[in-house]
Amino acid sequence: MPGVFVNYRVKDNPYGAASITQVLRDHFGPHLVFRDAVSMEPGTHYPSEIRRALHEAEVLVAVIGPRWLEEDPVTHRPRIESEGDWVHDEIAYALAHGIPVVPVLLMDTPENARRPRHDELPPDIRRFASIQAQTMSHRRFHKDMAELVERLVDLAPSLVVPRLFVQPPAPFTPDAAPSTLLHPERAVVPFHGRERELADLVAWAHDSAPNSTKLVVGPAGSGRTRLAVELCRRMAADGWLAGLLGGQAPAAQIRRTSAIDRPLLAVVDDAELRSEQLLALAEAVSARSAVHDAPTRLLMLGRTDGSWLRELREHRDERVAALFRPSGRAGTITLRPAPAGVSFSTAVEAFADVLGTRPIPATAPDGTLLEIHAHALNSVLGRTGPDPLAVLHRHDMARADGDTSALAVIGTLATLCIPASAEQAEALVVRLPDFLGQEPQAVRAHVESWSRLHPGPHPVDAVRPGALGEHLVAATLATHPALVTTMAVVFPDEWLVTALTVLGRALPRHPGLLGPITALFHADPRKLERLVHVALTRLDEPEPFARAIANEMGKLDWSLQDVMSLLQNVSTGDQAHDPIRGAALEAMLKAASGFTDQLQAHGGQAPHPPPEPLGRLIGNLTNLARDFVVGMADPGSGRTPTGPDGKPLLPPQALGMLRDMYIAHLREKRDEQDG
């Protein structure tokens, strides 16, 4: 399915055409760029393949070097006039069939190419001389190529689709970890059990609304992504552009689809981690709808519909808020851990068929959809154990080619930061020597081994499914606890937030991660405290993580300036932040007590008296008031004062009202500062 056909003269400057082709293949994908020397298999019938590629082309790039118009030594006429000249025939076909043509003039090679004149061309391609040409200089190659790519996308917008969506996985190989067969896009096990949810999503997509969003939530391993993959398959069969969004920021690509008069379904997996991307997508959807009537559907997949979504629904830009507002409770599909009627035997047979083994009888287990499929895969592999994901993880690592300790570290770091693009993956690779204590060359060898074990679009990718990656993270950090302190130093804030989210997600099922989480926090508490608030909005079970951080906050001495920052940070967020709010108030009271001690030590004299509200608070504090304030902010702390009968001194309704007033006050102060 070539989208770009590269036309060139072999005896002109084939290296220029080769360089241009390679960059285009890297950008659009090899299957969308055709050049005879690299796109045709040995033994292919040349004329037939050329005609097929021309028929499928959406744009033709004609590479013109300094010898493009040279004479044929036999006829002494320009080659472009010779019968059977492929350069002429390909350009003539494109012009006759309405395929856009882009002439590219090679400069400094070492001569400069020139645009052909009308009188130098045969009549059927004379208008080729009037088409605006791109110049390509080795001195400005990257800039010139970027301009060429932009022009090609303008002429053939569908070229962005492969870059927009996650591409189908490569065929399974014996070098790959067996767990990669669980990737939902492989669809090894036939789709079953979510027919009702699928029907609801198909009906939503075909609704009359021009733009619409929907959210599918469910616990880890419940099959959210597999459901979305099946939906995309159904919608693509109906003529939609449909797929799971890939890359770090596809907003520009989605905006490009405004030139394609086809409906669009874009799926955002792990939506909690991609709030910034969702904001950009909202703008792109608005731009698309302003150009075309074709509907746009945005499907979000997540483990929770917490405050991350509320912030989108309450966004100050009404276009954003209006798009995400239907994704509230009425616009959410909640999945059970496993659908009813899951066929364990069907899963066993499916995995046995791929691996070329005979199905092994096994007892159907309980658990999430992922755990049931992992049990089926383990039975085919001849492995057993109470925790199927742990068993599968150990089997994967036993098959690793190379230093398993180094590979585990690489996989853990990739799973913690989740590279979203080739550029992010490379940024992680160049940091790996800091973690492994090895030379870059040795690290690159480990990366190659990891990519064979867990192949993906980037050199290093997070282990998937996410629940399996959490097993790797827990096992690796148990044996390499110092990794987290290095992360605090070398990871950018964006990666640290993602790492905190992954750790917070895994903590309820892997309590051994409590130590690494607290060690990471203590590596830079002032910075990590700020990032914790973002991570909390993304967790489906935030209580263990929030409580762990709150306990560590209570062990530190915070300055009054730090306390003010803490209070500002807790001014937003839902009940997941209650333990942090309680810890912040505890820190405030502790800092205030220290301040009064300093005043007394100096005979009550201070160069800068405390603010009047804080002074009044300091003058009236008692242990009872301290427990009351902390218990109000954090009802789960057990600090709410009680009477002799064990009942709270204030009814829960009154405490809730005070808590809401307190949070509203903090938000008001924050809005005043932001304004």
CATH (domain of 67): 3.40.50.10140
Q: How far apart are CA 506 and CA 501, in angstroms?
A: 9
Task: Say yes or no: 87 and 56 in one domain.
Answer: yes
The pLDDT, as a whole number, for residue 599 is 46
Residue 612, domain member (yes or no):
yes
Task: Over range 312-316, report the average pLDDT.
Answer: 85
The CA radius of gyration of the chain, in Å to the nearest whole number, is 31
The pLDDT, as a whole number, for residue 366 is 87
Cβ proximity of 585 and 633 under 8 Å: yes
Task: Say yes or no: 211 and 129 in one domain.
Answer: no
The pLDDT, as a whole number, for residue 384 is 86
Pairing of strands 211-217, 264-268: unpaired
131 or 652, which is more confident: 131
Report which residue type is found at 507.
Answer: L
Mean residue pLDDT across the chain: 84
Task: Say yes or no: 368 and 225 in one domain.
Answer: yes
* Digit-coded pLDDT (tens) for 205-217: 999 888 889 999 9
Task: Say yes or no: 200 and 309 in one domain.
Answer: yes
Domain ends where: 352, 367, 384?
A: 384
- Polymer length of the chain: 675
Residue 593, domain member (yes or no):
yes
Domain ends where: 369, 384, 399?
A: 384
Residue 473, domain member (yes or no):
no
Residue 645, domain member (yes or no):
yes
End-to-end Cα spacing for the chain? 53
Is residue 408 predicted with pLDDT exceeding 90?
A: yes
Cα–Cα nearest to 472, from 590, 368, 390: 390
φ/ψ (deg, to 5) at 332: -120, 135
Task: Say yes or no: 126 and 188 in one domain.
Answer: no
Domain ends where: 362, 384, 406?
A: 384
Name residue, tokens 């990666």.
495
Structural domain boundaries, residue 197: 157-384
* Digit-coded pLDDT (tens) for 222-264: 999 999 999 999 999 998 989 998 765 556 677 777 777 789 8
Least confident piece of the model among 43-47, 391-395, 404-408, 519-523: 43-47
The pLDDT, as a whole number, for residue 51 is 87
**What is the Cβ-side half-sphere exposure of residue 409, based on CA atoms within 13 angstroms?**
24
* Digit-coded pLDDT (tens) for 616-652: 444 444 454 556 556 656 667 676 766 667 776 555 6
The pLDDT, as a whole number, for residue 619 is 47
